[in-house]
Structures are given as C-alpha cells and as structure tokens.
Amino acid sequence: MHPELEAVVKLWENVNRADRLQAERVTCIENRSLTVTNQREAAEALEAARVALDGVRTEERRVMRKLDSYRKRVSTTRTMIDTGKAPDYRLAEQQLRSCILIVDDLETEALELMEQRDDAEQVAEAAQQAFDAAEDASTRAVVRERDRIPAIDRELEDLDLARPALQEALTHEHRGPFRTLRARNRSAVATLRDGACSVCNYASPSQVVNEIEGHTRVHTCRNCGRFLLPGRPEQA
C-alpha cells in the first residue's frame, strides 16, 4: 500500500474505532436507563395486578360468607317447616322461597367472582413474570455499564492520544478530503472492485486503477470522494 494511503487508513481506523466506541458507550447508558424505566413500570403493573386480585378475593370472600349465611337460613327454615315447628307456616314458606332466590343469585355472583379471580391470578402471574424479566434485564444492563464503560473510556483515551500523530502523518493534500468525508459522516475509504468504487460503484479510468493497484499513487473516488484501496476489505 502507498505510504500516504496507509496514513489515511490508519487515521480512519482510529476515528472509526472511536466512533464505534462512543456509540457503544451511548448504547450502554441508554440501555441501562431504559431497562431501569422498564423495571419501574413493570413493578407498577405488578402492584396494580396484585391490588386488583386482592380486591376480587375480598369481594369473593364477602359473597361466600353471605352465601353461607343464606344457605343456613334455607336449611333452618326448611327444617322448621318439615318438623312443624315454624310459628307461622305461611310466613316460613315465604321466607324459604325468598332465601332460595337469594342463594341462587349469590351462587351466580360467586361463580362470576371465581372466574374473575382466575383471570386476575393469570394477570398477576404474567405481571410477575414480566417484572422478573425486567429486573433481570436491568441488572444485566447495570453490570454491563459498570464493567464496559471504564474499558471504553480507557480505549478512547488511547485513541485520542494517538490521533494527533496520525493526523500529522497525513499530507496537506489529503487532510481536506478526509475532513470533508468526516463532516459528511461517510467512511473515508473504499476498495476497488473490478475497477469501480465498492461503495458508489463509480468506475475509475484504467490509468487510475493501475496506479492504485500498483501502489504508485493515492486516488479518491471521483464520485463519492472516498480514498480508494487496492483490493483489500472495505474499511467502513
């Protein structure tokens, strides 16, 4: 590779690596923040599900107590009628019919509450599972941020320290095009593939291709401005 092009590649590798590390750093922080938020929301959803379940259970217990009470009234009244011990037979018959109707209504209500409890239990179970998953994700994100950020910062510092010398190694002719590519957030280099830029597919003249492949001169793509490499993996 031409020495001037090698200088471009080394600088590009430096800044490209720094960009990737910065992006990873941001992602680590954002993921930790997001998972903490998700955990908090999952905790709120779990608490709401538990409250709803407790409400259904409380209402179910109230109805069952009332149902037991009226069932006992039905049994007692029927026994009084059957044994002839009812003070007023007609009134006892009316009371029995009334209690039987109430028992029927309470049994229907109890069945509905049982179904509601089953549904509420499923919701609470799903909410618990979601909370457990969110808590695990949050823990892993916090650990990753704690472990990875210092390593990223150390590598970024090393890259920053090395960059001035790499920038100085660039010829004056190549600094402008390099800065332009950086400002446009483009990769600085591309490979020649069948005589064309691997990024924009713009074909270079045969003389340019020969000079690049022969390592005798540095060229940039006449279309996208990237520095052209002689048949090596693209640095993108």
Exposure string of 109-147, with b = 16+ CB inside 10 Å and e = fewer, is bbeebeebeeebeebbeebeebbeebeebbeebeeebee
Does 152 lie in the same domain as 191?
no
pLDDT of residue 98: 97
How far apart (Å, rounded) are the C-alpha atoms in residues 235 and 228?
A: 10
Total number of domains in the chain: 2
> Could you tell me if 50 and 125 are in contact, meaning their C-beta atoms sit under 8 angstroms apart?
no
Taking every pair of Cα atoms in the chain, the longest distance, rounded to a whole number of angstroms, is: 123
Residue 234: the pLDDT is 40
pLDDT in tens, 105-131: 999 999 999 999 999 999 999 999 999
- Whether residues 106 and 195 share a domain: the answer is no
pLDDT of residue 1: 83
CATH of the domain at 49: 1.10.287.1490
Q: State the Cα torsion 80-81-85-91 to the nearest 10°.
A: 100
Question: Same domain, yes or no, for 110 and 165?
Answer: yes
Please tell me whether residues 40 and 75 are part of one structural domain: yes
Q: pLDDT tens digit string along 161-178? A: 999 999 999 999 999 999
Residues 191 and 83 in one domain: no
Q: 158 or 232: whose pLDDT is higher?
A: 158
Contact of 199 with 225, CB cutoff 8 Å: no
Helical (H) or strand (E) element with 194: none
